[in-house]
Structure formats: C-alpha cells, structure tokens
Amino acid sequence: MYAGVMKDNRSVSRLQLEKVSHSFGQVSVLHDLSLVVNHGEVVVLVGPSGCGKSTILNVLSGHIIPLSGLVRSEGVVRTIHQQDGLFPWLTVSENIAMGLRSMKDTAHRTKEVSELINLVHLEGFEHHYPHQLSGGMRQRVELARVLAGDSDILLMDEPFSALDYQSRLRMRRELIRLLQLRLRTVVFVTHDIEEAAQLADRVLVLSGRPATISCELLIDAPRPRDLTDNAVIEAMKKILKELGL
C-alpha cells in the first residue's frame, strides 16, 4: 500500500556508467568500467576490501567526478554511507524528516514521518537521539531516511557490516520487506557473500584493482530467500569460486 503513495508518477530511474576510469594519484582504482542498473533492480557489488566499491558508489552519486567516462543517473539518489551518517544532534524523527525536506506542507510531513517510523518499527523512539539507539535501530533510521519522500535510487555502502551476525540477518529481511512496500532501484555494496546471495537480483563480482567486473550472476529466485535455499547456496558457490576462495 505504500509503494506509489508518495510517487504515483514515479519516473523510470536508471543508472549507467560507461567506460569510467578513475585514479587517486598514481593508484588506478577504476578502469574502463561499464554497468547499467535498471529500474527497480537490486544490484549487489561484491569484492575484496579496497578494490574500489565505495569509489563506484561515489561516482554513481556524483560525489566523485571520474577522470574519464560517462555517468548517467535518472532519479533522486540517496546514499547510506559506510560510516554512521545520522546527525547525532537530531532526534530519530528529525533525522527521518531530512528525507522530506522538499515537502513544504508540515502537517503532511509529520504524518509521513510517523508512517515511516511505523514502517521501520521504531514506534516510541521518535524523540530518541542516535546515541541512545542500538546499531540495528540506527540502521533502521537510516533506511527510513533514504526511503522518505521522493527518492528513486538507493546506494548502500556496506550498511550492515558494523552489526552483529544476527542483527545483520534481521536487517536483510527488513530491507527486503521495505523494498516490497516501497519499490526502489538499489545498488548495494558488500563484502558479505551471503548478503549478496540473499538480496540481489544481480550480483557483480569485482576483482583486483583497478576494479573490473569479473562475473555477473543473475538470481531470479523470489525474495525473501532463506540462507538454506538452493538458489542462495548455488549463488554463494559461484561467487566463492569467482573470488578464488
């Protein structure tokens, strides 16, 4: 019932990189990288630490202008950063309301914030500050903030990697549930193979530096997927093999 309430006229969102290269000083991080992310797709980038995953997201969000190549993005892009990105001086409600800044009608905005709070199951914590929440709850606030309002594309940089294993499993389910309620185009970065296999429509395995896509894997099993589902196990096998592990 949520999907489309905010954006009945949701335009088709899309991300594209074409022959993008970037380097920091002498270190070439991206080389001739091309990729397309289609509307409503969940693309997961997997790769070893330091191979350039965050850099790809930064290029997609426009924070980094690559030295060469073409970046095209259609739609409002929101990012969940690798570090804690909530403003510690704002309450849960106020942080979520940041995602609704373009909404001028305050009554409508208040209503939307409380809907989002219900959506991520944080009723009763509206007036708490981030430092009073657990890691998992903070990530729920981040999710609510990027889902708020008119966002089309979500870039997520290892959003759950700071959580303990069980919270991580729970947050994956949470993300899948939220995306079913509010459809978004997602690029999700992780080094967690399980996470990739459970979440992705398409997994891109990155290798080495400069980062190149060494394998592309489609997973068309419906979500949510159990860790023990055949599709998940098959996907994990292939990814592990590709990473040479």
Ligand X SMILES: Nc1ncnc2c1ncn2[C@@H]1O[C@H](COP(=O)(O)OP(=O)(O)O)[C@@H](O)[C@H]1O
Which residues of this chain interact with ligand X, rule CB under 6 A?
A: 24, 27, 29, 47, 49-55
Distance CA 144, CA 155 (A): 14
Distance CA 224, CA 204 (A): 20
Candidate residues 26, 49, 65, 88; the one interacting with another protein per rule CB under 8 A: 88
> CB of 151: closest distance to ligand X in angstroms?
22
Strands across the sheet with 42-46, in order? 77-80, 153-157, 185-190, 42-46, 202-207, 212-218
Of another protein, ligand X, Mg ion, none, which one sits near residue 26, judging by CB under 5 to 8 A according to partner kind? none
> CB of 245: closest distance to another protein in angstroms?
31
- Residue 83 interacts with another protein (CB under 8 A)? yes
Candidate residues 99, 112, 210, 211; the one interacting with another protein per rule CB under 8 A: 99
Q: Which of 65, 66, 70, 11 is nearest to 35 (CA)?
A: 70
Candidate residues 130, 185, 190, 204; the one interacting with another protein per rule CB under 8 A: 130
Residue whose beta carbon is closest to Mg ion: 54
Of another protein, ligand X, Mg ion, none, which one sits near residue 159, judging by CB under 5 to 8 A according to partner kind? none
Of another protein, ligand X, Mg ion, none, which one sits near residue 84, judging by CB under 5 to 8 A according to partner kind? another protein
Beta carbons of 33 and 69 less than 8 angstroms apart:
yes
Is residue 42 within a helix (H) or strand (E), and if so which, with residue range? strand 42-46
Q: In this structure, what token pair is assigned to residue 27?
A: 């270190």
Candidate residues 27, 34, 36, 63; the one interacting with another protein per rule CB under 8 A: 63
Q: What are phi and psi of 201, to 5 degrees?
A: -80, -35
Of ligand X, another protein, Mg ion, none, which one sits near residue 24, judging by CB under 5 to 8 A according to partner kind? ligand X
**Residue among 89 and 218 whose Cβ is closer to another protein:** 89
What totals of helices (H) and strands (E) does the chain contain, helices first?
7, 9
Q: Report the DSSP beta bridge partners of residue 33.
A: 20
> CB of 49: closest distance to Mg ion in angstroms?
7
Q: What are phi and psi of 18, to 5 degrees?
A: -130, 115
Question: Where on the chain is the footprint of another protein (CB under 8 A)?
Answer: 61, 63, 78-79, 81, 83-85, 87-90, 98-99, 101, 129-131
